[in-house]
Chain A
Amino acid sequence: MGTPPPESAGTPRRLTVADLLRLRRPTTGASSLHFPSAPAPTSRSPSRPRKKPKHAATAPASTSGTAPFAPISYPVLLSGTLSHPSAAAPPGCRDNCFSFSDPTPSTSVSPAASVCCCLLDFDPTALGREIRVLAWNYLPSIRLHGAAGVLEVVRWCLAEEEPAPAPERSFLEIIPLHCPAQNPVLATRGCVFGVVRSVSVAFSVPQANAEKKSVSSVGFLAEILCCGCRRCKLSPPEAVQDHKFEAVKFVCFVDSVCTWRPLMVWLVGRLVYVSGLMKKMASVAEKDSHIMLVSSSNTAMAWCRSYRGNVPLDGSPEKCSGAYAGVITGIYLQGQVVELDDTVCLLIDDLLLLPPHSLRVGAVISVKNFRAMRLNFSWMATVLLSTCSKTCITVNSFSLLDSKSHVKSQSKSFLGKFVDSLEMPVRFWMLLLISCFNQKFTKLFSDKEIIGSENKQGVIHAYATKTLSLKCQPQRSLIMKFCSHNCGSSSLDSKLEACKLVIPFCNFIWKGESLWISSVLKFWNVPKEVCKSQPLLCKGFPYTGFAKRIISSEELDYVLVGSIETSPLSGRLQLVDSTGRIDVVIPDLPSNGSLYGIYEISNYKLALEGPVAYLDHCNVSDSLSCKAIFQKFSYKKRVHQLSIYVIVCWRELNHIGPSLHIPLQINYRAKSFHLVKLSHIFPANNAEHQNMSGPILYAEAVILPHVFQFIGQGECIEHAEAFRMLHSHLLGSSEASVSKLCDIPCSLSFGSTNLCGTLVFSNSCGSDGTVLNELIVCEREHTSRILLEFKEASFMKYQLMRINGYYLLQCPSANLTCTIEGCGCLEGGKVSLDSQDKIWSIAITFYDNKSTKGTIGHQSVGVASQMEEPFSREVNRDELKLVQSSSIEVISVSSCIDIMKPKEASGFINLKTEELVQGNLISVHGKVKNVHSHVGMGGRCMIGDEKCSLCIHVSDSNHTVRLHGYVSKHSIVGVGPGAAVTFHRVLLTQHELLLTPVTYIEVTSISHPDLTEESVISPLNSNCLKGCSPSTVSPCLFFHQKPFIENRPMQFHCRVATVLKLVLDKSTSHGKIPNVKVRLAGFILDDGSSLCCCWADDARAELLLRLQELAHLDASVSLKLSKGENSTKLQHTIGCCLEKMLKRHTCVTVKNCGIPPDLSCQELDTSSDLHKVLSRFEDKLLKFIILNACWKGTLNVIASAVNPEDLNGFNKELPDFPVRNMNMLWIKEVFPVDPLEEARKLYGILENS
């Protein structure tokens, strides 16, 4: 309650309820306003206030979304009568709101205008009296979907102060309801005195009385904890002290008093005295009955203002007691789920429980009598407050943030009934499911298909029924639910295991990125300095390698549901929903597979591939919280160059969606086919291949000079019994040549058809089945390349194309000629494929189990170890060569190097000149060692990051080559470390392999090395990447004089015996870690055969000196060197300690005067450029560095004879013996030893020697 506004605030304009009803937008008003500097409101013309609402009325008012509350800029005073809602009011208003109406003028016939009203600081004394509303918000009816507007009263006071504020208030205050009869009839003498514990929702009260059988009236129940003492039964109580409120009594308020519910809700927890009740027996179940007190026309009520007791809680959680107050932070699913304080979900899905109108985001509400439960879903845990028939929701503070009122839809679909029948935790999951499906498919499919109609199941319903295997349960009557209350059931936790999240793809992608970010961060955070300073090297440059993480669906707890499409941009299969799309790899995609509709995938693997670059701790908000799932999640890409894709087997695709409308048309009447061999697949190139007729994808094929004949009725596929495949030369040839024919029995399969037939050749075949064809030359002339053009309807076929696969191309003409030009299939050198049925893959099997390649099922992607590879992909030695093998022979990395080698000898060509790069297009197969961006090394990104300059290191068991060039980010999906990949049409130049715009990258298999330390930071490097020329470097021993004679790099397997000399400098390049440059370092290396004096600088020297490794310095040294950092316990790399030293000295030269190979560092000759004397600790650090370098296992070193220029005159003062007699080498590369690999190589050498 407030006080009347001070007069000094200006005379407030009077506003009536009728005025309010004219407002069309959410409005706030107050009786007193303070304008610190604004023009005084009183200066406005008197007509202005009237105009304001009118102006507001013309303002566009949207029916959805949230519009701000418009304040009335002058003081207004609203007064009217507060009363119970009318019995005729809509249920939502009758159950929660009071009524606020203009005082009825005695002259008027028409009823006074009234609105729904919610009050803060309600007081029953105000009922039936005129009040002044001092501060209010008004939500017009338009925003409540036709319901009356609602007035939210923030501050109010009684229009007339009570005549005499009684100094001694009576113990019980009569609530002015209506005047009870003075002499109550005996039947209505029942009364209760007690604390209101709960109030039910309003419902239709079934009447058992015969005379009222047909009439059912609305009412509600109140649970009152009464005092059972005799005194209470006789006379109204006068004090609270002598009573114990323990006995539960139910009072049913029916008929005219059913409008008391808002009052009773307010009275929850308060002490009341209700008189004038009738006792009735209510049977609530067959076994159970309650004595119930029913209201009558004489019912009166009083409450005790002074009572401050607590409602005793009912212990067990299933009894639904408890109170919670919190701020509404989100309202979802038309108000069915209300999020409080960002943590708790309040589920209001009971149709009868109508939430107050003021339930908006930002409001503070209190909820009483609910069942709290912790939901432990596999992907998240949340606290759910589940409401029931006992729950009361009251508003403690109104919200001005949001003016959207959430009204539950009243219509109950088949799905809605199903949801209602579910037990609580599952019901909540069901709401999540509905929200997810709505987000995912509303744009892609019709509502009817997804949600279903009144009688028909939609996809959601079908999915939920399948997952839960539940049936509808009968609903209990409300009286039974309220009186013998039991909302709980403990057997539900097990069912939640089946409840997985059907994740919207944008949430999924976000989650994938988050997983990646956390893996990478873990990486960068743990042994910090080691990680940062041990980069992989390519051409001597450090780079950030790619890493891969494969996560099994078992660890993820989400189910992927979406439709499958081919992306016209990338030519890849994608799993699509309205929120996003993810690349999907189906290794065993069948040739006759159709992918219409919605698929559920619960068993899959999520692959994340990207550079292990340092990522900022960017937004890692939870994409799986209730908020993120109920609301459309706003996705913003955080990690670039990260490919996220899903690998799934065909059999794991579970079609749940709308069934296929258009049956797959197969032209079984087709008679004539061309036989083609696929020679290349062009990667999708969105820039070039988009035209008016929609997206197009291309492949290249070679027409083979063979003709198919189906043998059987009509010679068409439908009735085919067998087939013959004839060389086209035989067509129309003479009898004589036919006699020389050689028939090879074989079987042919394409699609689901299997046929036995013969292959007819004009020559004898070898004993092993290889056809020795003397017409090869002729064939070459006859083969012609064609372009296959895939239009959108045939994108699925594009997915199924395999290079070197054999295909039957349907020819509309029945004329069996082998020239494709003659039959009209070819238009401008290309064949247009606009439907699914024009091209078929074939496989020919010979009866001795030798088969040709070409089954469309031969797939390129399979997860090597875990997923069973559906088809083997072994090369058939006995491949029947239908045509002289074209230029698309796949070569290994080693043979690639062999091709490059002789060219290397022919001399270098400067590639930087303007001339065009020349070379052959080849196909290379190998295992990807690593991938990195070439951006920092001269390459750049093109066309909005769609294409990026990449360098891919590919190896076989012996050698490594580097491929680089611009690649679309779509084509490198799956090309991560460990993947077996065939690169088709890469340009082999004299020194390198270049990726071209037509390069097709076929991933044969991917392994899944996880994001391990080794895969990312160990400086594993190829032994053939030095310089521009990939060449083999043979392992060698120091005592061999080869390297000094032949003057070419050799590889040594050696250890540091001692360090001769060090010239250390402060690095000038910014950001280098450590900021140290080793200008020169001299080592004595020992490989077991001889000692050798080797020189190195920069990265090589750093590796040999182990500058990147954590220093095991004792505390005194690291403390001295890291002053002020409070870091006695911090571990530093040696490089970091050196960096600090070099800050003082700029350049330090160290000469070891000991005699190698003895491990001596007693005689160090150190000098600083600034002629400062090195401190004892600095001296010790240098000694430590030398000792530490010697204390290291074996390393591989690539070195060649030293060039005097490399030493820059540093070598003048070498120790006399034995170094003077040693050969000197310049170290070009240092990399760790892979013992297994080296052992294998060495074994090979020993075996052959």
Chain B
Amino acid sequence: MGPPLHLVHIKILAADLLSLTVLQTSRPSFLRRGRTVTRAELVGIVVSRDRREKFLRFLIDDGTGCVPCVLWLNHQYLNANVSSELSASDPNAEMALKMSEEVCLGTLLRVRGKIVMYRGAIQIAVRDVVLEKDPNVEVLHWLQCVRLAKECYDLPPPSAPGAT
């Protein structure tokens, strides 16, 4: 029996992420083998980058597929009710800006975020981005995806014992 997965960032490969079952409710939810997942962690190379005023869009390619990611840089608009001085020095905004600088074409990144739908496609609303310097982390990530799938994610969900 697997644990609930909606709180964790599941380690996942692009192909698996993009093939999640989407339940089109008021807020789309994503199912992996019948279990709800909301957050994901990917490791891959930045193959496209599009910086706008309020967000940064980029594509992460991990060899199994390309995942669109969006990093929001619109904190000052969200904090419109707070005084301008405070919002200017919002650590979240600063962090997001710094992360956006790490996203460069060709770099190996570890991306965590929420799985969201945008114009009918799955994408990641990025929570954080870590620049990886050792290329071996990619292999390790693949192996972890396999291990976690075997030992955790793809175990029969609590609701349907015995299902494979």
Contacts and interface: CB of A to CB of B under 8 A. Distances in A.
Interface of A: 1037, 1039, 1053, 1055, 1057, 1086-1091, 1112, 1114, 1116-1117, 1156-1157, 1159, 1161, 1176, 1180, 1183-1184, 1187-1188, 1190-1194, 1218, 1233, 1235-1236, 1238-1239, 1242-1243, 1245-1246, 1249
Contact of A1088 (B132, B144, B150): B144
A1114 B89 contact: yes
Given A1086-B8, A1090-B8, A1187-B92, A1112 B147 contact: no
B143 interface: yes
Contacts of B8: 1086-1091, 1157
B128 interface: yes
A1191 B130 contact: yes
30 contacts: A1039-B2, A1039-B3, A1087-B8, A1088-B10, A1088-B11, A1089-B3, A1089-B151, A1090-B8, A1090-B152, A1091-B7, A1116-B89, A1157-B7, A1157-B39, A1159-B127, A1161-B91, A1176-B86, A1183-B91, A1184-B91, A1187-B91, A1187-B92, A1190-B128, A1191-B128, A1194-B110, A1218-B7, A1235-B139, A1236-B136, A1239-B136, A1242-B147, A1246-B146, A1246-B147
Most buried by B among A1117, A1246, A1249: A1246
B29 to A, nearest CB: 17
Contacts of B50: none
Contacts of B122: none
B137 A1235 contact: yes
Nearest to B39: A1157
B7 A1088 contact: no
Contacts of A1055: 9, 112
A1239 B143 contact: yes
Interface in B105-131: 110, 112, 127-128, 130
A1239 B146 CA distance: 12
B: interface residue count bin: 35 or more
A1088 B148 contact: yes
B148 A1037 contact: yes
Nearest to A1113: B94
Contacts of B132: 1193
A344 B4 CA distance: 81
3 closest Cβ contacts across the A-B interface?
A: A1235-B136, A1239-B140, A1088-B11
B15 interface: no
B91 A1191 contact: no
Contacts of A1194: 110, 137
B95 A1187 contact: yes
Given A1091-B8, A1242-B140, A1242-B144, 8 more contacts: A1039-B3, A1086-B9, A1112-B98, A1161-B92, A1184-B94, A1188-B95, A1193-B110, A1193-B137
A1132 to B, nearest CB: 16
A1191 B143 contact: no
B61 interface: no
Interface string B142-164: 01101110111000000000000
A1210 B2 CA distance: 32
A311 to B, nearest CB: 67
Contacts of A1176: 86
Contacts of B98: 1112
A1057 B8 CA distance: 9
B47 interface: no
B53 interface: no
Contact of B140 (A1157, A1218, A1238): A1238
Contacts of B146: 1246
Interface string B1-20: 01100011111000000000
B99 interface: yes
A205 to B, nearest CB: 80
Nearest to B131: A1193
B53 to A, nearest CB: 20
Contact of A1246 (B99, B112, B143): B143
Contacts of B10: 1088
Nearest to B10: A1088
A1236 B132 CA distance: 13
B73 to A, nearest CB: 15
Contacts of B134: 1235-1236
B41 interface: yes
A1090 B3 contact: yes
Contacts of B95: 1187-1188, 1191
Contact of B147 (A1161, A1190, A1245): A1245
Nearest to B2: A1039
Contacts of A1242: 140, 143-144, 147
A181 B134 CA distance: 99
Most chain A CB within a 10 A radius of its CB, from B2, B7, B41, B139: B7
B152 A1089 contact: yes
B35 to A, nearest CB: 12
Contacts of B11: 1088
B130 A1037 contact: no
A1205 B95 CA distance: 36
Nearest to B1: A1039
Nearest to A1087: B8
Nearest to B9: A1086
A1246 B92 CA distance: 39
Contact of B151 (A1037, A1188, A1235, A1236): A1037
A974 B143 CA distance: 38
A1247 to B, nearest CB: 10
A1187 B97 CA distance: 13
B140 to A, nearest CB: 4
Contacts of B147: 1242, 1245-1246
A1086 B148 CA distance: 13
B91 A1088 contact: no
Nearest to A1191: B128
Contact of B148 (A1057, A1089, A1193): A1089
Contacts of A1088: 8-11, 41, 144, 148, 152
